Structure 1
Amino acid sequence: MGKKVLIAVDESEESVHALHWALDSSVVQQSDEVVLFHAQPHPRIYAAPAGPGGFFVAPELLASIEKHNKQTSEVVVEKAKNICEEKQINATVMVGVGDAREAICETVEKLHADVLVMGSHGYGAVKRVFLGSVSDYCVHNAKCSVLIVKKK
């Protein structure tokens, strides 16, 4: 049995590029266990005032947001799974819910992954300060080697 490779996927071109790169390079071997992981965000809830001291969130709105997040996850993991199949790599799929940085690092630890592969959006220093960087967080907090693939 080879190493356990966790590949973080999302809907970005950078993520797809990182997946292709990992499968085409010597990072992933036929004997490796490949896990495709997508972090589905918690639904963002916007509450409206509902009388003194209370707020109301329409259940339909919450259900709609959850449905959209689930559909996005299904599309992302299906695309990644198809890429693996085209390259004759067996991969399993996992979807977590929550902040991508924390969900990825928790999954690395839970699975005892040997390598984490992820794409980089290429944010500059200023954008990283305001938007945060999932890859930067994972480099410093994942309990395995982290390979960041940049798109040229």
Structure 2
Amino acid sequence: MFNKILVAIDDSTTSRNIFDAALCLAKTTGASLMLLHVLSSDDRDYPSPSLYSGLEYDPFDSILIEAYQERWQKFEQRGLEMLRSLTEEATKAGVNTEFTQAEGNPAHIICDLAQTWSASLIFIGSRGLTGVKEIFLGSVSNYVTHHAPCSVFIWRDNVNPDSQFSQKNNAQLTSSPS
């Protein structure tokens, strides 16, 4: 069955759901967890040097370099704190858990780590991109599905909240009996 579960997470609420599901499966099967957070330029909080584009940019300006390095360290630290907290939670639940954080292309890093760690399952989220959006913005879950060395579980939260089905279900959930 599954003995090593790789869980790709970020700081979203979807990732919390992914972690909870992976933890439940790991407790049930006795599997180990590897939590992975990828520092990616696609992240909304990614500290980019272009952040300082309103200033006259000099690549050798030590003040700008220091400001960028400080933002980068905070960005890295926030990811590590999240990973440590989730690792502690899983460990307290009796699941052997480790974590890693890497910088780069999330899809490639997930597949590479799954290969080197010998993962038997990858838990990953999906933003529900389709069509043109998926082509231009890319899809990490699509890439991982096609290139992973093991099974992949894709968690979808609110895939299409504007669909009639979702609106109907939301109306039923929020309405109270008269």
| TM exceeding 0.5 | yes
Question: How has the CA–CA distance of structure 1 residues 80 and 124 changed in structure 2, closer, same or farther, with 3 Å as cutoff?
Answer: farther
Question: What does residue 67 of structure 1 align with?
Answer: 73
Q: Which runs of 4+ in 1 moved over 6 A?
A: none
Structure 1 or 2: more strand by fraction: 1
Assess if the C-alpha contact under 8 Å between 2:27 and 2:94 holds in 1. Answer: no
Q: Which residue among 83, 88, 91 is the counterpart of 1:77?
A: 83
What are the ranges of 5 or more consecutive residues in structure 1 without an aligned counterpart?
none
- State the AA in 2 paired with 1:10: D
Question: What does residue 113 of structure 2 align with?
Answer: 107
Q: Secondary structure at the match of 1:148?
A: strand
Post-superposition shift, 1:82?
Answer: 4.0
> How far apart, in 1, do the equivalents of 2:125 and 2:13 lie?
9
- State the AA in 1 paired with 2:14: E
Q: Secondary structure at the match of 1:143?
A: coil
Structure 1 or 2: more helix by fraction: 2
- State the AA in 1 paired with 2:35: L
Question: What does residue 44 of structure 1 align with?
Answer: 48
- State the AA in 1 paired with 2:10: D
- State the AA in 1 paired with 2:9: V
Question: How has the CA–CA distance of structure 1 residues 5 and 12 changed in structure 2, closer, same or farther, with 3 Å as cutoff?
Answer: same
Assess if the C-alpha contact under 8 Å between 1:7 and 1:118 holds in 2. Answer: yes
State which structure, 1 or 2, has the greater radius of gyration over its C-alpha atoms.
2
Post-superposition shift, 1:74?
Answer: 1.8
> How far apart, in 2, do the equivalents of 1:86 and 1:121 lie?
30
Question: How has the CA–CA distance of structure 1 residues 7 and 92 changed in structure 2, closer, same or farther, with 3 Å as cutoff?
Answer: same
Q: Report the identity percentage.
A: 25
Q: Which residue among 109, 133, 142 is the counterpart of 2:148?
A: 142
What are the ranges of 5 or more consecutive residues in structure 2 without an aligned counterpart?
42-46, 159-178
Post-superposition shift, 1:124?
Answer: 3.6
Larger relative contact order (CA 8 Å, sep ≥ 6): 1
Q: Secondary structure at the match of 2:129?
A: coil
- State the AA in 2 paired with 1:40: L
Question: What does residue 12 of structure 1 align with?
Answer: 12
Give TM-score, length-normalised by structure 2: 0.69
Q: Secondary structure at the match of 1:92?
A: strand
Post-superposition shift, 1:28?
Answer: 5.3
> How far apart, in 2, do the equivalents of 1:35 and 1:66 lie?
24
Assess if the C-alpha contact under 8 Å between 1:19 and 1:118 holds in 2. Answer: no
Question: What does residue 175 of structure 2 align with?
Answer: none
- Map Cα deviations across residues 83-141 of structure 1 (whole Å, 9 max, x no partner): 42453322111111112111111111111211111122223433322322111111111
Map residues 26-37 of structure 1 onto 2, 5 A cutoff.
26=25, 29=28, 31-37=30-36
